Amino acid sequence: MKKLFLLMVFVSTGILSAQDRYTKGMEKAFQLWKDKKITEASNLFERIAMAEQDNWLPHYYVAQINTIYTFGEKDAEKVSQQLEKAKEFLDLAKAISPDNPELLVQEAMINTAWISFDGATYGMTLSGKNVQLYQKALELAPDNPRVVFSKAEWEMGSARYFGKDTTPYCKDVEKALELFANFKSETPFYPKWGQERAEQVLASCKG
């Protein structure tokens, strides 16, 4: 009985220790990101992802950070390298957590980064894929503020490109902001981004 009790103590201590390492690692990675040490943050998220094979979140952040920092980048090799890494880690995250609306939004962001870099090459093929991704994400999570906002912003960009009115999508941005006010997740490090950007977009709607 004593041996069983000790074993349970060791196991639970080991689990807590692993959780503690994960928490500290993620907090450090976010701090590096905040300090604009992008490569270091990406590398740390990657190391955490490799240690956390059944947790989609560190994989998601490797994909996200490598996607965000390709926007505005002119070096084709760097863009390709970063977006391929983003896609690789996104695929790993999707294998862990299928039909995850946050991952569908991230996939659409990778496509948007390619379109932003070279619209002539990627616009036609990836725009249709994004429409499908956002539609699926909305079906899965109609009350997720990032889904509602990202879909609206994508549709606004498409309307702008074709010289159409973007006003019809402002109501969706407004709805997203209402959802941001009430959205909560019990999962540590769950994505929180989007509210500030949605406020800027809504301000431009009313401007």
Determine phi and psi for 187, rounding to 5 degrees: -80, 125
Structural domain spans, the chain: 19-126, 142-207
Q: Which two tokens stand for residue 154?
A: 């994508």
Q: What is the pLDDT of residue 3?
A: 52
pTM: 0.89
Q: Please give the pLDDT value at position 144.
A: 97
Per-residue pLDDT of the chain (207 residues; tens, 9 = 90+): 555 544 454 444 455 566 789 999 999 999 999 999 999 999 999 999 999 999 999 999 999 999 999 999 999 999 999 999 999 999 999 999 999 999 999 999 999 999 999 999 999 999 999 999 999 999 999 999 999 999 999 999 999 988 999 999 999 999 999 999 999 898 999 999 999 999 999 999 976
Domain over 19-126 is classified CATH 1.25.40: yes
Report pLDDT for 207. Answer: 66
d(CA 137, CA 176): 14
Place of tokens 């990675």: 29
* pLDDT confidence of residue 60: 98
In whole angstroms, what is the distance from residue 136 CA to residue 69 CA?
A: 26
- The values of phi and psi at residue 112, to 5°, are -65, -40
Alpha helices in 69-194 (DSSP H): 76-96, 101-117, 119-140, 145-161, 170-182
Secondary structure of 106-132 as H, E, C letters = HHHHHHHHHHHHCHHHHHHHHHHHHHH
